[in-house]
Structure formats: structure tokens, C-alpha cells
């Protein structure tokens, strides 16, 4: 729809993220199929509906030929997506290298991979150059599709240079930037050779958002300590310009999950799962196979629980869904074999001829399967060593209104700040504590489960992705108006 003056009824929003909500799989020279991408960012962005939104990002494949690019652009247009084409070398240096081997572990307090430390330090400059180049390529696509009055919302650690690229080109553009990971203590950020360039580039945005107040505070102290700028309750003062900094905790589209539970196919799945696991309690982990998720720690804690509670051995199963991710990065390959080894050892130790205590899958499930699994789960285990928010915990809660299962949640996930009162919070490094929490969750009285669930369910169904996006965008609009007023004064 349009207004009488031709402007659209809904505000136009350009959402720019490294990964599009759909990933492309090539079926022929000019034919593509599209699949929903994995990860918290996508899970939240799918819930954003109030805007006339376009998505700009990478479709997850290398498309060197023009025929392929044209066909993919057309297929994506139907999903309101606009591709940024990155060649293999850029993907290697920018995505595998700078983003996932340097920024990602650093922002999650994991440091650089030990053996790679020297090699990484040496290739740092070329990877950083590729990072800037990739950000410029995203900026080119944004500039091509931008119309006056649009809001441009940049996402995540892949695109910290984008606000600067966009503002250098067009000062009047409304630009917001949101980080989906933690922002670490300034003492960690300052170890990055490009620490100042990154901060300056982000500060070019009008509004900068984080999941929690702590991440926002860390960002502001990095700007004051490393750049010597002034931090105020509103944000960071930078040469007469104020960059607003604030916390906007993300959520999910909870209705989508609750609607799915009424789908006959899901009910069928639920029935099958109940039959398969009759007589056993179901514990569930759903994670991208990433070192920040603490999967080995989770499995070792489960082993300790089995060790200490022999009466539970044939009455419980842990289903671990580990979605493959960033499989070209060596650290992720190492993690895969490490997890397989631990799972094999524990199943060998506690399995019987007919059952194993851990069922581990190296793949994603389709949405309806996943909803069914969430619904039949008795205890969900989220043991992230660090996690920006963790929306798996939200998705689980949304699907538990009849079962009222227990959520065990790492205190190092952003979600601990919103679901802390309903979940059992744990330090994932403390295997004994996690093992005891598993016992506590399995033995919890229905009254206590009900009370805890009610708290979390209320939060998840009221703090939705939709509300998150509306709050961020309206704050961005207000910020820009206030800045204009300040200049006029
Ligand atoms: C996290 C990041 C997202 C990313 C997702 C999946 O949630 O914050 O930006 O898209 O992981 O990772 P991938 O590298 O596959 O995009």
C-alpha cells in the first residue's frame, strides 16, 4: 500500500547482514533452490513484519558466472532478498578468516586459536584488508537500492565498517548498527590490531544497539579508553556528534512456534517421538556446532550425571542436534571430531544392546520436526561458554506450554538476563554443578516447573522479534530527529 503522496504506508527498511535469511543451493546453470539459513540472527529477522523490508546479504554460495548471478538475483527477489556476491578469495579471508577466526572467538572471550596464533597474526593485515573490501561491496549494493527516507539497519560483527562506508557516501542516510554477539570487555577488544578503526567505523552510525546493558557498557568503555572519547548515559560523543548506544534485547516470533504446534504434521511427529522415547525422560540440546556453545562441556556433565545417578541410566536420553556451521574453518573441524569422540566413548560406556544414552545428529532439522522435538522435551540444556543472546532457549519455552519442562541455561548467555528467574542457571565450566542441575531438573515438582515456566513463557511471548525491531527502528528515527534539532540550535 501507498499513501496519497506516493510514500509507502510502512516504513522502508533495508536490513543488511552478512547472511541472508535464505541460503541458495545450485540445481542447474540457471536454477536455484532456497533454504532457510541457521542461526539466531535469522531466527529473529524472520519475525520482523511491520516494515516494508528488503534484505541485503550473502546467499552463502560462490557464483562466479553471470548466468548464475542473474538467475539467483531473480529467485531471491521473490523473497525480498538482494544478494551481495563475494568471490572465493574474499570469503576465505573476510568470512572464514577475519570474521570467524578472529572477531568471533575474541568477542566470545575465547582468544585466538592456540596453534594458529602466530599464523593468524601474520595474515592479519591481508584479512583485515579483505574485511574492509567486503564491507565496501555491501555498501555498494545498499547505495544502489537506497531511496530517500529509508532506514538502513546493519547487523553484526561482519559489518562493523559498513556504517562508515555508508555515511562517507551519504551523510543524510539513517544508519543503525546492531551486534548479535557479546561485546567483550575493553581489555579484550584492545588486543585487536584494528581496534580503533573498528570502533570509529561503528561510531559513524546514528544508533548502535546490543542485546544487553553489559555489552553496551563494554562498548562505551572501549570508546572512552581506547579512543579517548567521552561516554555519556546516551552514548558516545565524537567530534560534536553523538552516537546513541543502547540495549535492545532481541526475541523470537513466538506465535510462529505456537501455531506450528497445532499443525497436524507436528502432532503426528509428537506422537511418534513419544512412542520412541516411552519410559525415558528426554533431554535436548540444539546448537550450531560452534565452540561457543559448550557442547563438549554439556556432554561431559551428562556423563557425570549418569555416573552418579545409576538409577537414571536407562530412564533418560540426551538428544543433541548439532547443526554444522563454518565447516571450512579448521577450529570447527577439530570441534566436530572432539565431540564425536566424547559421544562415542560415553555411548560405549553406558549403552546397551538396544539403547544409547546420547543420540547425536550432525545436521539441522526442519522447522516442524524441531517444534515437535521442543514440545516433547523434559529438560533443555543450553551450556554456552558465551552467547550474545541464545534464541534456542526462547524457542524451547515457546513450545512448552503444555509440558512445562525445565530450562538449564548458562549464565554466560545473554538470555540469562531475561529468563534467569525461570531457568536453572549454571556455569558451564563447572561440570559438577551442571550434573547436579540435571538431577534437580529431572526431579523437580510439577508446581515448581509450572511456576518457572510461567515466568519464562510470559517473557518470550511479550518480548518478541517484532517488538525488538520496532523499538530499534523507532529509536533510530527519534535519534536522527534529535540530532537535526541539536545542529539547528
Ligand atoms: C550467529 C551470528 C550470525 C550468523 C549465525 C550463523 O548467530 O551472530 O551473524 O549468521 O551465527 O553463522 P554463519 O557463519 O553460518 O552465518
pLDDT in tens, 133-171: 999 999 999 999 999 999 999 999 999 999 999 999 999
Q: In the structure, what pLDDT confidence band is assigned to residue 458 with cuts at 50, 70 and 90?
A: very high
On the question of pLDDT at 102 being above 60, the answer is yes
Question: Which ligand 1 atom is nearest residue 38's CA?
Answer: 6
Question: Stretch 209-221: mean pLDDT, rounded?
Answer: 98
The upper half-sphere exposure of residue 3, i.e. CA atoms within 13 Å in the direction of its Cβ, equals 7
CB 97 within 8 A of CB 130: yes
| Cα–Cα distances in angstroms (integers) from residue 121 to residues 97, 102, 193, 194, in the given order | 11, 10, 9, 12
- Is the CB–ligand 1 distance for residue 181 below 6 Å? yes
Flag the least confident range among 45-49, 127-131, 218-222: 45-49
Q: Name, of 118-127, 379-388, 479-488, the range with top average pLDDT.
A: 379-388
- The helix (H) or strand (E) run that includes residue 408 is strand 406-410
Residue nearest to atom 4 of ligand 1 (CA): 39
- Is the CB–ligand 1 distance for residue 39 below 6 Å? yes
* Alpha carbon distance 399, 261 (integer Å): 7
On the question of pLDDT at 7 being above 80, the answer is no
- For 121, other C-beta atoms within 10 Å of its C-beta total 12
Local structure of residue 8 (DSSP, 8 states)? B
19-45 b/e with 16+ CB inside 10 Å = b?
A: bbbbbbeeeeeeebebeebebbbbbbb
Cα 306 to ligand 1 centre (Å):
33
Local structure of residue 231 (DSSP, 8 states)? E
- Is the CB–ligand 1 distance for residue 405 below 6 Å? no
pTM over 0.90: yes
Q: Is the ipTM of this complex over 0.95?
A: yes
Question: Stretch 197-215: mean pLDDT, rounded?
Answer: 98
pLDDT for 317? 98
| Cα–Cα distances in angstroms (integers) from residue 18 to residues 59, 108, 175, 263, 283, in the given order | 9, 19, 16, 32, 33
pLDDT for 235? 97
Instruction: Select from 454, 437, 446, 439 the least CA-distant residue to 397.
Output: 454
Chain centroid, CA 267 distance in Å:
28
* Alpha carbon distance 400, 406 (integer Å): 9
Counted residue by residue, the chain has a size of 489
Mean predicted lDDT score pLDDT of the chain? 94
- For 68-80, what is each residue's pLDDT tens digit? 999 999 999 999 9
| Cα–Cα distances in angstroms (integers) from residue 268 to residues 262, 359, 368, 372, 397, in the given order | 10, 21, 10, 9, 20
The secondary structure of 370-403 as a DSSP string is: HHHHHHH-SEEEE--SSBS--SHHHHHHHT-TTT
- Is the CB–ligand 1 distance for residue 211 below 6 Å? no
Residue nearest to atom 16 of ligand 1 (CA): 19
pLDDT for 297? 98
Give the largest CA-CA distance in the chain.
Answer: 79
Cα 372 to ligand 1 centre (Å):
24
On the question of pLDDT at 239 being above 90, the answer is no
* Alpha carbon distance 312, 169 (integer Å): 63
Question: Stretch 18-26: mean pLDDT, rounded?
Answer: 94
Flag the least confident range among 283-287, 326-330, 359-363: 326-330
pLDDT for 114? 62
- For 252-277, what is each residue's pLDDT tens digit? 999 999 999 999 999 999 999 999 99
| Cα–Cα distances in angstroms (integers) from residue 445 to residues 42, 117, 306, 406, 458, in the given order | 36, 49, 21, 11, 20
Which residues make Cβ contacts (< 8 Å) with residue 252, sequence separation at least 6?
Answer: 43, 44, 47, 391, 394, 395, 398, 460, 464, 465
Cα 273 to ligand 1 centre (Å):
29
Cα 291 to ligand 1 centre (Å):
13
Q: In the structure, what pLDDT confidence band is assigned to residue 49 with cuts at 50, 70 and 90?
A: confident
- Is the CB–ligand 1 distance for residue 23 below 6 Å? no
The vertex-112 CA angle with 321 and 185, nearest 5°, equals: 90
Amino acid at each position: 500500500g501507498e499513501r496519497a503522496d506516493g510514500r509507502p504506508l510502512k516504513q522502508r527498511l533495508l536490513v543488511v547482514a552478512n547472511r541472508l535469511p535464505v541460503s541458495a543451493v545450485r540445481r542447474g546453470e540457471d536454477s536455484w533452490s532456497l533454504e532457510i539459513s541457521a542461526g539466531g540472527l535469522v531466527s529473529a529477522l524472520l519475525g520482523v513484519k511491520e516494515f516494508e523490508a528488503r534484505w541485503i546479504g550473502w546467499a552463502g554460495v560462490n557464483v562466479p558466472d553471470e548466468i548464475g548471478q542473474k538467475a539467483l538475483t531473480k529467485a531471491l527477489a521473490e523473497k525480498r532478498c538482494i544478494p551481495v556476491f563475494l568471490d572465493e578469495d574474499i570469503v576465505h579471508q573476510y568470512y572464514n578468516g577475519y570474521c570467524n577466526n578472529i572477531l568471533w572467538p575474541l568477542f566470545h572471550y575465547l582468544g585466538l586459536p592456540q596453534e594458529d596464533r602466530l599464523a593468524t597474526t601474520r595474515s592479519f593485515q591481508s584479512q583485515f584488508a579483505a574485511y574492509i573490501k567486503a564491507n565496501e561491496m555491501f555498501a555498494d549494493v545498499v547505495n544502489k537500492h537506497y531511496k530517500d527516507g529509508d532506514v538502513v539497519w546493519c547487523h553484526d560483527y561482519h559489518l562493523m565498517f559498513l556504517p562508515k562506508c555508508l555515511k562517507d557516501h551519504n551523510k543524510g542516510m539513517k544508519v543503525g548498527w546492531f551486534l548479535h554477539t557479546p561485546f567483550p570487555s575493553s581489555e579484550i577488544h584492545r588486543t585487536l590490531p584494528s581496534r580503533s578503526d573498528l570502533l570509529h567505523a561503528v561510531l559513524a552510525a546514528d544508533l548502535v544497539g546490543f542485546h544487553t546493558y553489559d555489552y553496551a557498557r563494554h562498548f562505551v568503555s572501549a570508546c572512552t579508553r581506547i579512543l579517548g572519547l567521552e561516554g555519556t548515559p546516551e552514548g558516545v560523543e565524537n567530534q560534536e556528534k553523538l552516537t546513541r548506544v543502547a540495549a535492545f534485547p532481541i526475541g523470537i516470533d513466538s506465535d510462529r512456534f505456537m501455531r506450528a504446534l497445532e499443525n497436524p504434521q507436528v502432532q503426528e511427529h509428537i506422537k511418534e517421538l513419544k512412542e520412541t522415547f516411552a519410559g525415558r525422560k528426554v533431554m535436548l540440546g540444539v546448537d550450531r556446532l560452534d565452540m561457543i556453545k559448550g557442547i563438549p562441556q554439556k556432554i561431559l556433565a551428562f556423563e557425570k550425571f549418569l555416573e552418579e545417578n545409576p538409577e537414571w541410566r536407562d530412564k533418560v536420553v540426551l538428544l543433541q542436534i548439532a547443526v554444522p556451521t563454518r565447516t571450512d574453518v579448521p577450529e570447527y573441524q577439530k570441534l566436530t571430531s572432539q565431540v564425536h569422540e566424547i559421544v562415542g566413548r560415553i555411548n560405549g560406556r553406558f549403552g546397551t544392546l538396544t539403547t544409547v544414552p546420547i543420540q547425536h545428529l550432525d545436521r539441522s532439522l526442519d522447522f516442524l520436526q524441531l517444534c515437535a522435538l521442543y514440545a516433547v522435551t523434559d529438560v533443555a540444556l543450553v551450556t554456552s561458554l558465551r552467547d550474545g543472546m541464545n534464541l534456542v532457549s526462547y524457542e524451547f519455552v515457546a513450545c512448552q506450554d503444555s509440558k512445562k519442562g525445565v530450562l538449564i541455561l548458562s549464565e554466560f548467555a545473554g538470555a540469562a538476563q531475561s529468563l534467569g528467574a525461570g531457568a536453572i542457571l549454571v556455569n558451564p565450566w563447572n561440570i559438577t554443578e551442571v550434573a547436579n542441575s540435571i538431577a534437580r531438573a529431572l526431579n523437580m515438582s510439577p508446581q515448581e516447573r509450572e511456576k518457572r515456566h510461567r515466568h519464562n513463557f510470559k517473557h518470550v511471548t511479550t518480548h518478541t522479534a517484532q517488538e525488538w525491531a520496532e523499538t530499534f527502528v523507532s529509536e533510530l528515527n527519534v535519534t536522527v530527529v534529535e540530532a537535526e534539532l541539536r545542529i539547528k540550535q
